Amino acid sequence: MSAIVTIARRELRAYFATPVAFVFIVIFLALSGWFTFYLGGFYERGQADLQPFFTFHSWLYLFLVPAISMRLWAEERKSGSIELLMTLPVSIWDAVLGKFLAAWLFTAVALALTFPIWITVNYLGDPDNGVIVTAYLGSLLMAGAFLAIGSCISAANRNQVVAFIITVVICFLFLLSGFPLVLDFFAGAPQVIVDTIAGLSFLTHFNALSKGVIDLRDVVYFLLVIIAWLYATSIVLEMKKAD
């Protein structure tokens, strides 16, 4: 556990050692506000909730989170520092988990800094803050799923741009899998297959959480996605280490 914490701290400090972290946070906050108050019609709706705010999170994460995850391992491989990391007295799983937790915590910081929007809706009305807390939890879990996918793709590529593009494509497929357009493509398949594909959608599980519905299946789904892709990351790194 100490090795994981040490790696996470090192990685988290590295984020804020350059202006990149601050640029990401500013862009995230600016886009969140713009989507909420303009595209989401926050004032026009006349309702005291943050539904317009959370509606666009999945699409924000689709491009912003891969921008974080693409450097997790691709940069290490390109600079050659991954060889040094592998010689340290830490397991590959510790390194994978430590780097992931740092990226997830960084994303959590960016998400927490949107609190002025939460304060605004409380000032203007009387929202159900329990629903808002649940939606924040769902958003953080979804961001973790995006990061875990990006971690695996980054481990498999030296080029950060390639890692970014592939991560966006895979995450986009996870978002679209519950849409009628995709499900209609499998119209002739057994219903169990159609239901399984629909159940893979990030939106299906996040939308329930964003409405304040705490279903253990939605939480478990995101946790399983995170664990599965992090495990895949460790396998990829083991293969690269053996080469």
Q: What is the pLDDT of residues 13-41, one digit of tens each?
A: 888 887 878 888 999 999 888 888 887 77
Q: Which pTM was predicted?
A: 0.89
* Closest-CA residue to 150 (of 81, 112, 99): 99
Total structural domains in the chain? 1
The per-residue pLDDT for range 120-140, each reduced to its tens digit, is: 888 887 888 888 899 999 999
Confidence of residue 84 (pLDDT cuts 50, 70, 90): low
Range(s) of the domain holding residue 201: 2-242
Query: How far apart are alpha carbons 128 and 52 in whole angstroms?
Result: 15
Tell me if 237 sits within 8 A of 152, measured CB to CB. no
Tell me if 163 sits within 8 A of 153, measured CB to CB. yes
Mean pLDDT to the nearest integer, 187-204: 75
Mean pLDDT to the nearest integer, 151-166: 89
* Closest-CA residue to 101 (of 62, 64, 68): 68
3-state helix, strand, coil split of the chain in percent (to 5) is 80, 0, 20
Mean pLDDT to the nearest integer, 154-178: 88
Three-state secondary-structure class, residue 127:
coil
pLDDT of residue 79: 59
